Chains A and B, each alone.
Chain A
């Protein structure tokens, strides 16, 4: 699965730690999602979409990670 998490985070000038705090997850989780090593659960994906104010499909797509 591909995602725009890193781009969205850097756009806002947030660090991984800041994003992790806002999502109430560990920084390792944010890092793993950004690098494509972990696909978040549906509740976490919805929390991410809500935080960025974007539809879930804008952030995540089913194209394989490049």
Chain B
């Protein structure tokens, strides 16, 4: 079936690029450990994981482009919901930081967006999977 094919391909691409990212992060850390702080190769070594990260981004773009109109719409809704939660949550947490809560890195916004997106798309899939008649 079309969507199964699309999802299998996505899973394969994502797993491969995630494995490459883990390997590249490890290699980058190992290379940087053996370099002096003023080594000119330090910057390329630090950016080594960017290549597999771009492959991961490519897998996400491809699964979106290969999906049909309904799935595309649900994905966009998931992204919009994630962005809304991250921006409102970020604003509220920013106010709470002023009264002493610990500072959080901006990367948390991506975790919230990605988490919300994943949960939303999964919930929609679960909801439609049960009705096969």
Nearest to B133 among chain A residues (CB) is A16
Q: Which residues of B contact A24 (CB under 8 A)?
A: 2, 68
The yes or no answer to A44 lying at the interface (CB within 8 A) is: yes
The yes or no answer to A61 lying at the interface (CB within 8 A) is: no
Task: Point out the residue from B1, B69, B73 that lies within 8 Å of A20, measured CB to CB.
Answer: B1
> 8 Å CB contacts to B: which residues of A7-38?
15-17, 20-21, 24-29, 31-33, 35, 38
Query: Which residue of A26, A27, A29, A41 has the most chain B CB atoms within 10 A of its CB atom?
Result: A26
In the assembled complex, 20 residue pairs joining A and B whose CB atoms fall closer than 8 Å, in A order, are A15-B132, A20-B1, A20-B3, A24-B2, A26-B1, A26-B3, A27-B128, A28-B124, A28-B128, A28-B129, A29-B68, A29-B69, A29-B70, A29-B71, A31-B131, A31-B132, A32-B128, A33-B70, A38-B70, A40-B69
Q: Which residues of B contact A28 (CB under 8 A)?
A: 3, 70-71, 124-125, 128-129
Bound Cα distance A20, B132 (Å): 12
Task: Point out the residue from B1, B70, B71, B125 that lies within 8 Å of A17, measured CB to CB.
Answer: B1
Q: State the interface size on chain B (CB cutoff 8 A).
A: 17
B interface, by DSSP: helix, strand, loop or mixed? Answer: helix
Q: Which residues of A contact B6 (CB under 8 A)?
A: 26
Task: Point out the residue from A16, A26, A31, A35 that lies within 8 Å of B68, measured CB to CB.
Answer: A26
The yes or no answer to B28 lying at the interface (CB within 8 A) is: no
Cross-chain contact A25 with B69 (CB below 8 angstroms): yes
**Interface bin, chain A:** 10 to 19
Nearest to A21 among chain B residues (CB) is B1
- Contacts A29-B69, A41-B69 given: A16-B132 contact, CB under 8 Å? yes
Q: In angstroms, how far is the closest chain B Cβ from the Cβ of A1?
A: 14
Q: Which residues of A contact B69 (CB under 8 A)?
A: 25, 29, 40-41, 44
Nearest to A35 among chain B residues (CB) is B131
